[in-house]
Amino acid sequence: MASSSKSASFSQQEINELQTTYEQGGLSKFATQIVKKLNDIENVKLNIAVTGDSGAGKSTFINAMRGLRACDEGAAEIGINETTMVRTPYKHPDFPNVCFWDLPGVGTTKFPMKDYVSKMEFTKYDFFIIISQNRFTENDAKVAKEIQNLEKKLYFVRSQIDNDFNSLKLQGVGFDEIKELAQIKEKINCGLMEAGISEPIIFLISSLFPKEFDFNKLKETLLDNLDGIKRDVLLMSLPSTTVKIVEQKRAQLKKRIWMLATVSAVVGAVPVPGLSFAVDLGILVNAIIDFRKSLGLDGASLQRLANVAKKPVEFLKAEVRTPLVGEIDKEFVKQMLVRSSFAAVSVVEVALDTIPIIGSIFGAVSSFGMTYKLLTDVLDDLVENAQRVVTVAFAPDPSHPQ
């Protein structure tokens, strides 16, 4: 059986084994396997190492990846002098299984190169980001070689690009931004290749302006180079700063819906008054709250987005036009199910494109079909609101969002 830790949805082999599980053990054992997969998604950990010289902008970058400012609770400390004297973990405020590790700079008396890899526990990280505010040093190259020897993914990030361009503007120097960025990247690439780093992956960013330069490209590359559940957990943790990220989150969350609907209909199910089926209302309540958090529509996420976009949070909240951002409890979900009952659709319509054996397990119209439809409608509603919030958050003119 394919490893659960490597896939956020079931592989064909796992689907075949689910079919066998159902045939031999019935619906209860079938649901138990799905619960295991959901637990894998919930519990997987992602550890990201961020290293580089003092003043390179590691802390600011870690904060930006988590949608935080230096003044926010849980933010990495930022200072003019070296602030990272020990290996320091910074968990995501909403997704604590995603952890960024701020590593002290290498090459000092306290952290000589010969001890650095072992002291920093390089084997525990999923991938590495080396940050520099100007050129990458000999020490950076030495660290990079150690990472490559471990066959782990490595990314070079040149930070504070906005300062470079502002300096040129203040001096009255005319320049073509695209050409200037290409020249900077080429110079870095040549330097790293000369230092023995093969095919370095380089990004030019400003952590203070995550919509500009290569920041979004960096996020997309990180996602592309992760597999299955770890990709899923990183995606959900990223601030919803672009419509593309929101759409990627929709696609991933939709893969969970049939699993949640199955468990809701089978595990600890109770009858819903006024309807002819039973569901686990607690699972549905938690699913709606998780969808809302993943898409950045909870209060804390909206405040963090407002801070990044430099817009009043009330301006963003005004674009959220759904009761799903209010209190979600079992009674609320019951009422949603009752109101949705007239629109029941067959399992064949909603599930066979996702997992073929579902249609043979549940009836044409069933508790599965209703809860599947409910969560699909919930996801579509939340995505529509999230897209609207992101669009106005970063529109140049708040009165004319683009």
User: Which residues are within 8 A (CB) of 15 and not within 5 positions of it... i.e. 6 or more apart?
Assistant: 355, 356, 357
* Domain shared by 341 and 282, yes or no: yes
* Domain shared by 69 and 116, yes or no: yes
For residue range 355-374, what is the model confidence (pLDDT) as tens digits?
666 766 765 447 888 888 89
Mean pLDDT across the stretch 311-315?
A: 94
* Domain shared by 217 and 285, yes or no: no
Task: Tell me what pLDDT residue 400 has.
Answer: 43
* Domain shared by 160 and 68, yes or no: yes
Residue finishing a domain among 234, 254, 283: 234
When pLDDT is cut at 50, 70 and 90, the band that residue 6 belongs to is: very low
Q: Report which secondary-structure segment, H or E, holds 42.
A: helix 12-43
In a domain, 398, yes or no: no
Give the least confident one: 112-116, 157-161, 319-323. 112-116
Domain that includes residue 286, residue range: 240-393
For residue range 245-292, what is the model confidence (pLDDT) as tens digits?
999 999 999 989 988 988 888 877 777 777 667 788 999 999 999 999
In a domain, 375, yes or no: yes
Residue corresponding to tokens 């659960």: 4
Instruction: Give CA–CA dist 368/13, Å, rounded.
Output: 23
In a domain, 35, yes or no: no
User: Which residues are within 8 A (CB) of 181 and not within 5 positions of it... i.e. 6 or more apart?
Assistant: 161, 204, 213
pLDDT at 379 over 60: yes
The answer to whether 147 and 122 have CB atoms below 8 angstroms apart is: yes
* Domain shared by 223 and 260, yes or no: no
* Domain shared by 314 and 329, yes or no: yes
When pLDDT is cut at 50, 70 and 90, the band that residue 352 belongs to is: low
**pLDDT above 90 coverage of the chain, percent:** 53
**pLDDT above 70 coverage of the chain, percent:** 87
Task: Tell me what pLDDT residue 28 has.
Answer: 81
In a domain, 381, yes or no: yes
Reduce the DSSP state of residue 32 to 3 states and report it: helix
* Domain shared by 339 and 308, yes or no: yes
Backbone angles phi, psi at 204, to 5 degrees: -110, 120
The answer to whether 90 and 74 have CB atoms below 8 angstroms apart is: yes
* Domain shared by 294 and 315, yes or no: yes
Residue corresponding to tokens 């930070």: 159
In a domain, 336, yes or no: yes
Tokens linked to 335: 């009422």
Cβ-based burial of 149 (10 A; exposed 0-12, middle 13-18, buried ≥19): exposed
In a domain, 22, yes or no: no
User: Which residues are within 8 A (CB) of 250 and not within 5 positions of it... i.e. 6 or more apart?
Assistant: 295, 379, 383
* Domain shared by 245 and 388, yes or no: yes
Bridge partners of 48, per DSSP, are 100, 127
pLDDT at 7 over 70: no
pLDDT at 102 over 90: yes
The answer to whether 276 and 394 have CB atoms below 8 angstroms apart is: no
Residue finishing a domain among 212, 234, 256: 234
Bridge partners of 99, per DSSP, are 47, 91
* Domain shared by 83 and 122, yes or no: yes
In a domain, 179, yes or no: yes
Tokens linked to 45: 């950990």
* Domain shared by 273 and 224, yes or no: no
pLDDT at 149 over 80: yes
Q: What is the DSSP string of 365-376?
A: S-HHHHHHHHHH
CATH of the domain at 101: 3.40.50.300
pLDDT at 127 over 50: yes
Give the number of other CB atoms < 10 A from CB of residue 216. Answer: 18
* Domain shared by 108 and 229, yes or no: yes
In a domain, 6, yes or no: no
Residue finishing a domain among 234, 252, 268: 234
Average pLDDT, rounded, for the chain? 86
When pLDDT is cut at 50, 70 and 90, the band that residue 349 belongs to is: low
Reduce the DSSP state of residue 137 to 3 states and report it: coil
User: Which residues are within 8 A (CB) of 218 and not within 5 positions of it... i.e. 6 or more apart?
Assistant: 155, 157, 203, 205
- How many domains are contained in the chain? 2
Burial letters for 58-79: b for 16+ Cβ neighbours within 10 Å, e otherwise? Answer: bbbbbbbbbbbeeeeeebbeee
- From residue 212, how far is each of 123, 203, 217, 310, 377 by CA, in Å? 32, 12, 10, 14, 33
* Helix residue spans in 267-366 (DSSP H): 281-294, 299-309, 313-317, 330-340, 347-351, 358-361
